[in-house]
Amino acid sequence: MKKLLISSLFLILITTTCKTNDNMNSNPLLSKWNTPHQTAPFNTIKVEHFLPAIDISIENARAEIDAIVNNKNVPTFENTIVALELSGNKLSRIASVMYNLNGAETNDELQAVARDASPKITEFSNYVSLNEALFKRVKVLFAKKDKLGLNPEQAYLLENTYKGFVRSGANLEGDDKIKYAKISTELAKLTLQFGENVLAETNAYTLHITDEKELAGLPDGVIEAAAQFAKSKEKEGWMFNLQFPSFYPFLKYADNRELRQEIYMASASRAHKDNAFNNEENIKKIVSLRLDMARLLGFDNYAEYVLEERMAQTPEKVNAFIEDLHNASRPFAKKEFKEVESIARKEGFEGTLERWDWAYYSEKLKAKKYGFNEEEIRPYFQLEKVQEGIFSLTNQLFGLTYKENKAIQVYHPDVNAFDVFDENGEFLAVLYLDFFPRDGKRGGAWSGDYRPQSNINGNSIRPIITVVCNFTKPTETKPSLLNFNEVTTFLHEFGHALHGMMANTVYPSLSGTSVYWDFVELPSQIMENWATEKEWLDQFVEHYETGEAIPTKLLQKMIASKNFLAGYSSDRQLSLGMNDMAWHTITTDITESVADYEKKAMQSTELFPLVEGAATSTAFSHIFAGGYASGYYSYKWAEVLEADAFSVFKKNGILDKATATSFRKNILEKGGTRHPMELYVNFRGQEPTVDALLEKNGLK
């Protein structure tokens, strides 16, 4: 996912003007952006522009807050709540560029700037959230909310604003306020450092092979990509790294078990070695500070604090949800493990099956069960064709069209920018697509925004959305050819993008993906379903060289294998949720090692021997450097929602326009303007049940 978050609710705002400053003429971040759709002028932005621009924009933002506070008029929804929505835009715009670049195209200099800027932005956030006079105005309005004649979205915004202040320490007094500010500032630094350490460790490792015999088992495309990577580093032979398109195929296909173990351990021990990038102490400090923050705000633990504003509501409900799915998944996971172990024995493997053996022998089991090797489908999933297929799918469902706009400046040559139009031909959004791994990009895939949608006082601001992935790169002889996982990842992130692009709210803080964290994955995960729908695949899937349609038998094998190792995969995902909840339900500081603590948390899902030196948590950026703390369960929670929701498409037709329109009007357009269960029931007609998910995954 996931969405890139800025430090404060008040920083995700819309375009307004700020005070002029002499530096505005020389700093492109501060000047008016005379670019298509006011997109960022990446060609002229330099790293040294960020800190001065942030300092000036913070000064302007403080002045805007002071103007609200010093307003002598009686507090009204317009002069207080709407004014807050309109404040701090310049800072929001600059910070969004910096944080997006720091994830997708960073370097040592930008990381240093982000480390300096993050505490400043957090301090401004605290200036807003801990501002007694400002909170007093909000409280006055909240106390008489039922008498203000507000429409539902306005009422929801007022409630969210009030809760935002309370949850950010506005009711604290004296030393507690000071302590809260210190904690939030320190957390901003630590979470940023955590992510930097993971990126540094990821980039630090390469596996350099010069003996061609050690490539045995690897597909030709993987070997060619490794040769191209070595050539780019001015090395002979072949090179692999820890980016997923390089790392995972090596684990899946390489016959050399010692090298599989080496590359696995390089990944599994990231930020867990005795060096400058070790994240163990960062984790302990982060969870300790989060506990301190929760206690200051009246909660027993951090998970209680987070889940107060989630569909799940409490740690007890989350743990029960995880346990129920674990109980359903575990028998299947054990059975699947024995099947993989059995095929390994038949292949002549002796000894204990280890984690670096799993992908290798799983692939052999898949080939035996389904006659299907995932590499067989790559030639039929050329990235450009998949992109066309997704564009066509969203056109059929929602009427969207896409036109590449080369006048929009991009931050890297790999990035393409598109104007997106609605079915009536009106401009809807800007969409950046950034597909390939590089040293300056963190791992994984996510969608975020440079600007959210809003429509205050009839001033319609359309969103600027980004999708960032790490797909298999093209080689000298082949275009980018995707595996099934990459196709589903593309669909997943595009679902987030749709949530942002089709937003249709008034207020930016309620727009797009600004929803409960265990609801935000519904639009993304429901899109994954089309990856195994023949009716859609038949429209665009063809061999990249011959143009021939994918053989029906091969397509049927791919679809039939979609639930391969479903129990194991489910339990693996649940284990990460268990780990997350264990870290964030602590009531005392952690004194044992990170490895020992997470071992206890995930013990009930283990199938393999423990590996000395490996750790999940030290590279678990979702919860220690992203927005998923106490929320990793939300992937499974959203699976329940999306399986139930997609059953409507299955019933009415996977390309049924009426069903898609209902999903758009009730879910995608509404953002966070209503409680998510209300939105879901408006679409589905009932609350979801887990049955559809269990049936979909073959676990019932």
Catalytic residues: 493
Structure tokens given for 106: 């960073």
d(CA 487, CA 390): 10
**CB burial class (10 A; 0-12, 13-18, 19+) of residue 345?**
exposed
Residues 463 and 500: beta-carbon distance below 8 Å: yes
Give the CA distances from residue 534 to residues 211, 488, 549, 695, in Å, rounded to whole numbers and listed in that order: 42, 14, 12, 19
Structure tokens given for 606: 């283990």
Residues 469 and 489: beta-carbon distance below 8 Å: yes
Residues 272 and 615: beta-carbon distance below 8 Å: yes
Query: Is 400 in a helix, a strand, or coil?
Result: coil
Annotate 440-507 with three-state secondary structure.
Answer: CCCCCCEEEEEECCEEECCEEECCEEEEECCCCCCCCCCCCECCHHHHHHHHHHHHHHHHHHCCCCCC
Q: Rounded to an integer, what is the distance from CA 16 to the centroid of its chain?
A: 28
Given the structure tokens 């953002």, which residue do they identify? 671
d(CA 553, CA 537): 13
Residues 65 and 87: beta-carbon distance below 8 Å: yes
The angle subtended at Cα 116 by Cα 112 and Cα 122, nearest 5°, is 135
Given the structure tokens 């948590």, which residue do they identify? 617
d(CA 54, CA 121): 8
DSSP annotation of 562: G
Given the structure tokens 């506990």, which residue do they identify? 291
Closest by CA position to 581, among listed 320, 199, 233: 320
d(CA 13, CA 94): 11
Residue type at 229 in one-letter notation: F
498: left (phi over 0), alpha (psi -120 to 50) or beta: alpha
Strands (E), 77-210: 206-209
Residues 122 and 476: beta-carbon distance below 8 Å: no
Residues 94 and 54: beta-carbon distance below 8 Å: yes
Give the CA distances from residue 267 to residues 196, 199, 203, 272, in Å, rounded to whole numbers and listed in that order: 15, 11, 10, 10
Longest dimension (CA), the chain: 83
Give the CA distances from residue 669 to residues 153, 400, 679, in Å, rounded to whole numbers and listed in that order: 13, 14, 10
Query: Is 439 in a helix, a strand, or coil?
Result: coil
Given the structure tokens 């692939």, which residue do they identify? 363
d(CA 668, CA 422): 14
Q: Are strands 427-434 and 464-468 parallel, antiparallel or unpaired?
A: parallel
Q: Are strands 416-421 and 427-434 parallel, antiparallel or unpaired?
A: antiparallel
Structure tokens given for 334: 């054990």
d(CA 322, CA 318): 6
d(CA 227, CA 222): 9
**CB burial class (10 A; 0-12, 13-18, 19+) of residue 339?**
middle
